[in-house]
A and B are shown apart, each in its own frame.
Chain A
């Protein structure tokens, strides 16, 4: 995978392999906190300790602010999904190109398809949503599977449960987010 910031502020991912694409497409599922109370609690923590809040404060927070936060999180994921539709179109273009370039040898053609690379452009105004969607996915993975950035996870347990891939996906998001902060979001 190669990352590039375009002059107009957009971000272009190129040389995406099948696993990269799979991981991007998994983002909304990985970031889904709906069925997990611990993840929901992390993403929507209380405004303050119950002892310090009046009932009115607590009620206003739940009634007016929490729905807006949910909406914001959902909007980030919707933006990612919409951008991923562009990636699907690139995939079709590249498959056509591979067909034209490599008609002679069926075996080589199969290899080319297997190693096909994809590209995705994220408009400048969507970069923040992508960052937050990846962040949300990491927070949920942390709450669900104990994967975080300060400890090595219980790898045998992740392997046994078939969740080892989540660790790789978590680490990919860490790298991408680090790049996005340094090169795009905090670049002025």
Chain B
């Protein structure tokens, strides 16, 4: 297991990328073409839970409540949407937080992913 949390690693990676950008525009340094794609850090992402025919409805409700801190009513409503419509957006926000939520959901074995909002 990697000893550092993902957010820490990503922060370090972002810092390194920032330094490379500063270096690229400093006088006397060679300017390099930007090769990195837009990271999507600034735009909101949806966290999506998808239906599966195995996880218990009571468990899905419990996990949504536990991870996001929602009320029993709200979590149960989301669970029902997952069950009846196939999926439900359970949270929307910054990419790094969305990734953390997806990881927690997958650790609980819920079928989950993220997608760009809008």
Query: Does A65 lie within 8 Å of B54, measured CB to CB?
Result: no
Q: Could you tell me if B37 and A54 are in contact, using CB atoms closer than 8 angstroms?
A: yes
Binary B-proximity of A164-182 (CB < 8 A = 1, otherwise 0): 0000000000100110011
Are B1's CB and A68's CB within 8 A?
yes
Question: In the complex, are the beta carbons of B58 and A178 less than 8 A apart?
Answer: yes
Q: Tell me whether B53 and A47 are in contact (CB under 8 A).
A: no
Total B residues in contact with A, Cβ cutoff 8 Å = 34
Enumerate A61-103 residues with CB–CB distance to B below 8 Å.
Answer: 61, 64-65, 67-69, 71-72
Q: Is B10 at the interface (CB under 8 A from chain A)?
A: yes
Chain B interface, DSSP helix/strand/loop, else mixed: mixed
Contact A149 B54 (CB under 8 A): yes
In the complex, the answer to whether B6 meets A64 with C-beta atoms within 8 Å is: yes
Residues of B within 8 A of A46 (CB): 113
Residue of B nearest to A136 (CB): B109
In the complex, which residues 3-56 of chain A have their Cβ closer than 8 Å to any Cβ of chain B?
42-49, 52, 54-56
Contacts of B112 in A (CB 8 A): 45
Q: How far is the CB of A22 from chain B (nearest CB, A)?
A: 22
A46-B113, A181-B56 given; A132·B106 CB < 8 A: no
Q: Is the CB–CB distance between B37 and A55 below 8 Å?
A: yes
Which chain A residue lies CB-closest to B1? Answer: A71
Q: Give the chain A neighbours of B102 by CB distance below 8 A.
A: 47
Contact A54 B40 (CB under 8 A): yes
Q: Which residue of A has the minimal Cβ distance to B17? A: A56
**How many residues of chain A are within 8 Å of chain B by beta carbon?**
40
Provide the residues of chain B in CB contact with A185, threshold 8 Å: 59, 62
Q: Mark B36-48, 1 if CB is under 8 A from A, else 0.
A: 1111100001000
Provide the residues of chain B in CB contact with A181, threshold 8 Å. Answer: 56, 58-59, 62
Q: Across the interface, name the chain A residue whose C-beta is closest to B45.
A: A48
**Chain B, 8-61, CB within 8 A of any chain A CB:** 9-10, 13, 36-40, 45, 52-56, 58-59
- Check A48–B115 contact: CB distance below 8 A: yes
In angstroms, Cα B99 to Cα A46, docked, is 11
B53–A69 contact, CB under 8 A?
A: no
Please indicate the chain B residues that have their CB under 8 angstroms from the CB of A138 in the complex.
54
B74 interface hit (Cβ, 8 Å): no
Tell me, yes or no, whether B111 is within 8 Å of chain A by CB.
yes
Please tell me if the beta carbons of A149 and B53 are within 8 angstroms of each other in the complex: yes
Contact between A186 and B58, CB atoms less than 8 A apart: yes
- Say how far A36's CB is from chain B's closest CB, in angstroms: 15
Given contacts A45-B106, A60-B10, A185-B62, contact A135 B54 (CB under 8 A): yes
Give B residues with C-beta under 8 Å from A: 1-2, 6, 9-10, 13, 36-40, 45, 52-56, 58-59, 62, 95, 99, 102-103, 106-109, 111-116
A54-B40, A139-B54 given; 5 more Cβ-contact pairs under 8 Å: A47-B99, A56-B39, A64-B6, A142-B54, A149-B56
